[in-house]
Structure 1
Amino acid sequence: MALLTGRTAVITGSAQGIGYAIAQAFAAEGANIVIADINATAATEAAAKLGIGDRAIGVGCNVADGGDVDALVKAATNAFASLDVFVNNAGITRDATMRKMTEEMFDLVIAVHLRGSWLGTRAAANVMRDQENGGSIVNISSISGKVGLLGQTNYSAAKAGIIGLTKAAAKEVGFAGVRVNAVQPGLIRTPMTETMRSDIMEARLKEIALGRVGEPAEVAQAVLFLASDMSSYMSGAVLEVTGGRHM
């Protein structure tokens, strides 16, 4: 039997990039998929592109809005009668040095990443704690939340906060069989990294033990591990998917 057969998984920010790679990995393992994205049209199109028919739906959702997140969870349970996996993946960047970063740039990144992950964790746990088999929540942090990166005081703060959120939430809901874990990706091949200046890319590659950029599918496999019963005795854990960067 596939790892997620009959289970329902919500992935935020999954119309493209790492989130979509996670959706693909989950779909291949038999899950019902809810693609959530701030762009509702893109979410619907991405769900159809998975090629699993009515096992996938797309839902528009602003993860920084509690009402939207509650509606997302309701859409998942209405469509598939359970909520077994919730991945808080949605994110944005507004990079700048502190001298140039505005309060609005800081607040927006914190709202999407940290508030969004908290809202998703809370809403998912509220459903999962009443299910016989609990559930698995996976929060996507970043290596930036471990070491701090230049020009990312907002992003690094949010991603570090997600680790604290993950550990505190894991302690709160573990009694109900709800597991909460996190993944910290490093330098992953995305549209953003594809446009990186060659000298910056070369410098970053020198920091990576494996000497290469990671692929979205490699992050997805770590998330799949935490979503499935393969990690049934893990909660409050943080997995680094970095190729050995910043050890």
Structure 2
Amino acid sequence: MSGLLNNKICIITGSTRGIGKEIALLFAQEGAEVVVNGSTLGSADDWINNSIQKERLHPYYFDITDTKAIHNCIMDVKKKYGHIDVLVNNAAVEFNELIGMISYENMMKMFKVNVFGTIEMIQAVSRVMSRNANGGSIINISSMVGLRGNPGQLVYSATKGAVIAITKSAAKELACKGIRVNSIAPGLTQTEMMEQADFEKLQGRIKNICMGRIAQPKDIAGGCLLLASDYAEYISGQVLPVDGCTII
């Protein structure tokens, strides 16, 4: 690989599987030391131990809604490496429910993880990044539904729309400290949740994608690599759609 992230310390939330895992693997391949995060103890141990990049992958298991646990992780990483260069806020939960059937419990879970957890991570990591000579890069994973909406995803769309608003405000506030804040907005992506989707409806949505296929996790990881690298040092406050040019 090209070593785009050599000597960078990166934290990726929700990276024990799916999109987050792919981001972690790509970042490690590009020379970064990667903090792999998940809320379930040991959930990444097997694939990390089997990875050729295992020396660069460091599991930290904590809940991103737990302020104390976040602080402990950030302080441990700072003590070990002296700096943090990249944060990818990828952790999220999703419940798809029609209006009139929305569960209050599920609604609160989505806001707690997708919105409040993202804010908590930005607050904690930006304090460390602000001491870096070159600042840092924060990448928030939002979604195209946060821009366009989607039937049956009112609450999820609302949380991802909030992530986009967080991105734009944080970018303006942190720019003076050299910290860039951007968002990746994935379109339809092949993850474990996709296996539960209605096949006919899925085919209908794929027909609206000009590139003729749904995204793979590596497609999202590639967008993150760009924004994490020094090639994007003058890009901040932006939302990058990674949706294969989808017709609305």
TM-score tier after normalising by the smaller chain length: over 0.9
Give the percent of matched residue pairs that are identical in Structure 1 and Structure 2.
34
Number of the residue aligned with 1:210:
211
Q: Which runs of 4+ in 1 moved over 4 A?
A: none
Deviation string 1:174-220 (CA, Å, 9 cap, x unpaired) is 11111100000001111111332211111111221112111100100
Question: Unpaired segments of 5 or more residues in structure 2?
Answer: none
Number of the residue aligned with 1:23:
24
Contact 1:186 1:240 in 2 (8 A): yes
Contact 2:29 2:53 in 1 (8 A): no
Deviation string 1:71-110 (CA, Å, 9 cap, x unpaired) is 2222322332211000000011111112111211111101
1:40 correspondence with 2:55: no
Number of the residue aligned with 1:70:
71
1:1-247 equivalent positions in 2, closer than 5 A: 2-246=3-247
Secondary structure of the residue aligned to 1:42 is: coil
Per-residue deviation at 1:246? Answer: 4.3
Deviation string 1:36-85 (CA, Å, 9 cap, x unpaired) is 10112113444434333442210111112222222222232233221100
Question: Unpaired segments of 5 or more residues in structure 1?
Answer: none
Sort the Cα spacing of 1:53 and 1:242 in 2 relative to 1 into closer, same or farther, 3 A. Answer: closer
Q: TM-score, normalised by structure 1?
A: 0.96
Cα distance in 2 for residues equivalent to 1:25 and 1:60: 20
Q: TM-score, normalised by structure 2?
A: 0.95
Per-residue deviation at 1:155? Answer: 0.6
Cα distance in 1 for residues equivalent to 2:58 and 2:104: 36
User: What amino acid is the match of 1:15?
Assistant: T
